[in-house]
């Protein structure tokens, strides 16, 4: 997160901070769509396909700096962690499963990427809103172009 905090004052830094969340969303989309292709093994393959499509839309939204998409990604990832984490922690505690420990760490890292995306999209919109009055001042000092406000040249 230190690399994000140092870049928080610039819109380009906020744009760079969402790159990881876009990658995680694409990973989840491919992961769930891949499970939907294994339809004989699951009773509800359409649910996995729907979640995969939702993560693809979230990736697109986060890439466009949408706060709603970042929050939706955070909520879906948090739901995934809440459902997935107990079984992983049980496997680590009971059996000493190293792969389960790997997925615990990966889930925490993915969740942190979405938290960073929520912060970055918020910072981007705050920076965009604070830059707008400066643009308004430069355009308001120029000569009006409306025919109602302009005087004919004599």
Express each pLDDT in 88-109 by its tens digit: 888 888 888 888 888 889 889 8
Query: Rounded mean pLDDT of 112-121?
Result: 88
Output the pLDDT for position 61: 92
Give start and end residues of each alpha helix (H) in the chain: 2-6, 11-17, 19-37, 45-63, 67-95, 98-140
Q: Is the pLDDT of residue 48 over 60?
A: yes
* C-alpha distances out from residue 144 to 53, 132, 136, 141, 149, Å: 48, 19, 13, 9, 6
- Compute the CA torsion angle 47, 51, 54, 58 (nearest 10 deg): 170
Give dist(CA 26, CA 53) in Å, integer.
10
CB 76 within 8 A of CB 54: yes
Asked if residue 50 has pLDDT above 60, the reply is: yes
User: Does 87 score more than 80 pLDDT?
Assistant: yes
């Amino acid at each position: 997160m230190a690399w994000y905090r140092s870049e928080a004052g610039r819109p380009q830094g906020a744009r760079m901070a969402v790159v990881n969340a876009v990658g995680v969303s694409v990973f989840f989309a491919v992961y769930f769509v891949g499970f939907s292709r294994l339809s004989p093994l699951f009773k509800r393959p359409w649910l996995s396909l729907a979640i995969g499509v939702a993560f693809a839309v979230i990736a697109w939204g986060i890439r466009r700096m949408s706060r709603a998409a970042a929050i939706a990604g955070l909520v879906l990832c948090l739901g995934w962690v809440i459902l997935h984490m107990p079984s992983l922690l049980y496997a680590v505690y009971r059996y000493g499963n190293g792969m389960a420990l790997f997925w615990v760490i990966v889930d925490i890292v993915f969740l942190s990427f979405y938290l960073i995306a929520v912060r970055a999209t918020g910072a981007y919109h705050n920076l965009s809103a604070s830059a707008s009055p400066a643009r308004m001042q430069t355009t308001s000092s120029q000569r009006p172009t409306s025919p109602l406000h302009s005087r004919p040249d004599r």
